[in-house]
A and B are shown apart, each in its own frame.
Chain A
Amino acid sequence: MIKTEHLSKRYNTLTAVDDVSFQVNAGEVLGFLGPNGAGKTTTMRMLAGFVTPTSGTASICGHDIETDPIAAKSSLGYLPEGAPTYGEMTVRGFLDFIADLRRLEGARRTARLDYVIARLQLERVLEQTVDTLSKGFRRRVGLAQAIVHDPPVLILDEPTDGLDPNQKHEVRQLIDEMARDKIIIISTHILEEVAAVCTRAIIIARGRLVADDTPVGLAGRSRYHNAVSLQLEKTDQLAAFRTAIAALPAVAGVEISEREARLTALPRGGAPILTAVSELAAREGLKLKELHLESGRLDEVFRTITA
């Protein structure tokens, strides 16, 4: 379990993290969202024991990060932002070094090293120095380092930054796989990632915790939640249909895209309007190319909350 209470970090006049409290339990994958400079990285650094909080406390698996840092760090796997490593070391040398620091020994050491090397597909580059690797490989070396000791808690700062879509998919699969028995915190500004891997999301803006919800719950806050989007075959019916839809009592507003011949009906108070809209479309004899129900747009929620 990870627990923070009134965690704050101030640098002179700048308040990077301001009174953040939350708790994460085993099996949860928590997404840390927020604009750049909102305090995500500082919060993670405090949890990882790299930055000392100005006030407040945090504990990892019951070990306070300030009074019992070695125990807290031992239960933690941490991928720092940008996945720094020692560039002059070979991948094998680097992983051996981390395994030493993590006190992995004997058969377990061999097994764990073999596992991370295979899981992150590092066989090909084992004897190469980290400096010569592509960004994707460096990130994977960073991930290997974070999970080699099979920690109960993982904190990953932008684990998919700089990866191509295939690699992103791989990393998400890995997170999914590990999520069953671990606590995982990831920071990202890729919103689809939150929907894809996280069971819960926290949004931080200007150092403050502004939202703590499930991805579905967050999407539900969108004005597009339960909105109905229709694409017509021809644009000429657009204007007339718009007036008809706007007249429906459950519809709060209508947005139009002329170019795509698309029309989006926004519900009043998030109430379902799909039936009403589709019945209306049938009555008006519209030729539809597409009709779908929106679950809400995370990017729009994100912008509303953090603006």
Chain B
Amino acid sequence: MKFIIMRRELASYFATPLAYVFILIFLVLANLLTFFLGGFFERGQADLAPFFGYHPWLYLFLIPAVSMGLWAEERKSGSIELLMTQPVTLWDAVLGKFFAAWLFTALALALTFPLWITVNYLGSPDNGAIIAAYVGSLMLAGGYLAIGSCMSALTRSQVVAFILAFVACCAFLLIGFIPSLATELPGWAQTVVQGIASLSFLTHFDSIAKGVIDVRDLLYFAMLIGFFLLATSIALDVRKAD
């Protein structure tokens, strides 16, 4: 059931220009950031750090666009009633849709492979670290998408879903900066601040982006995704028909 729903959802991305526009913008922005802001050539290092370093910020704008329609559109067109009266569980639908969006993002990410070829042509990078960073980026995208799915489940307007997802993801990013702003605080408050910051995407993404895969970071993303998908299904269950 999850697979059937996922397949339909994935196909629906490509039924509209949204998919192509998204992939195009993603690729253009990813490359611009890498080469201009990231100083890919000037650094003189054969790695993709400038590429992956911008992913949290790139996703902040682009992922909510992928997730905004997941449930808001179903509500708006009324097709949620059709879907929920088929013999499928709510969880099947939530997972199926989430994986469709994730797979779509994975495809966009995979299309950045020319960069990987470039860096291998120019030098001899640590390809293990690059693969690790791709995995990390995918997990990061999953986290954003799960939040976006939850926000989409709260409303019937895609615009509102986009804004809610943007703000929520922004919050999850920015709490990572609190410790650097709060160096004057007493010790116990530092601990609290560190605790909050450890919930941030940045804290967990930075080391993966450098090619260090820590099970705890992967676990963080897995739990974040699980939590927000659960929240999605609760939001849907409470106000399916609204």
Could you write out 29 A-B pairs with CB less than 8 Å apart?
A: A45-B241, A48-B81, A48-B85, A50-B85, A51-B240, A52-B237, A70-B88, A70-B89, A73-B87, A74-B87, A76-B85, A78-B85, A80-B78, A81-B78, A84-B79, A84-B81, A84-B82, A85-B79, A85-B82, A86-B8, A86-B12, A86-B77, A87-B77, A88-B15, A89-B11, A97-B4, A97-B8, A100-B4, A129-B15
**Chain B residues closer than 8 Å to A87, beta-carbon distance:** 77
Establish whether residues A102 and B81, one from each chain, have CB atoms under 8 Å apart when the complex forms.
no
Q: Mark B1-24, 1 if CB is under 8 A from A, else 0.
A: 100110010011001100000000
Using an 8 Å CB-CB cutoff, how does the interface string of B49-89 with A read, 1 for contact, 0 for none? 00000000000000000000000000001110110111111
Residues on A with C-beta less than 8 A from B241 are 45, 50-51
Binding site for B on A (CB under 8 A): 45, 48-52, 70-71, 73-74, 76, 78, 80-82, 84-89, 93, 97-98, 100-103, 129, 145
Instruction: Compute how far the CA of A102 lies from the CA of B8 in the bound complex, rounded to whole angstroms.
Output: 14
Chain A residues within an 8 Å CB radius of B8? 86, 89, 97
Residues of A within 8 A of B240 (CB): 50-51
CA distance A80 to B89 in the complex (A): 18
Cβ contact within 8 Å between B77 and A84: yes
B78 pairs with A49, CB closer than 8 A? no
Complex Cα distance, B237 from A29, in Å, reads: 31
C-alpha gap A51/B85 in the complex (Å) = 10
Task: Contacts A51-B240, A88-B12, A88-B15 given; indicate if A102 touches B78 (C-beta within 8 A).
Answer: no
B104 to chain A, nearest CB (A): 15
- Taken together as a complex, chains A and B put the C-alpha atoms of A78 and B87 apart, in Å, by 11
On chain A, the residues within 8 Å of B85 by CB distance are 48-50, 73, 76, 78, 80
A88 / chain B contacts, CB cutoff of 8 Å = 12, 15-16
Known: A50-B241, A97-B8, A145-B82. A70 touches B77 (CB 8 A): no
- Nearest residue (CB) in A for B16 is A88
Cα of A50 to Cα of B4 in the assembled complex, Å = 20
B4 touches A102 (CB 8 A): no
Within the assembled complex, what's the spacing in Å between the Cα atoms of A97 and B6?
Answer: 11
Mask, B167-196, CB within 8 Å of A = 1, is 000000000000000000000000000000
Which residues of the other chain, B, contact A103 by a CB distance below 8 angstroms?
87
Residues of A within 8 A of B15 (CB): 88-89, 129
B16:A101 contact, CB within 8 angstroms: no
Q: Are A86 and B87 in contact (CB under 8 A)?
A: no
Rounded to whole Å, the gap between the CB of A153 and the closest CB of chain B is 12
Hey, which chain B residues are within 8 Å of A98, CB to CB? 86
- B78-111 Cβ-contact flags toward A at 8 Å (1 or 0): 1101101111110000000000000000000000
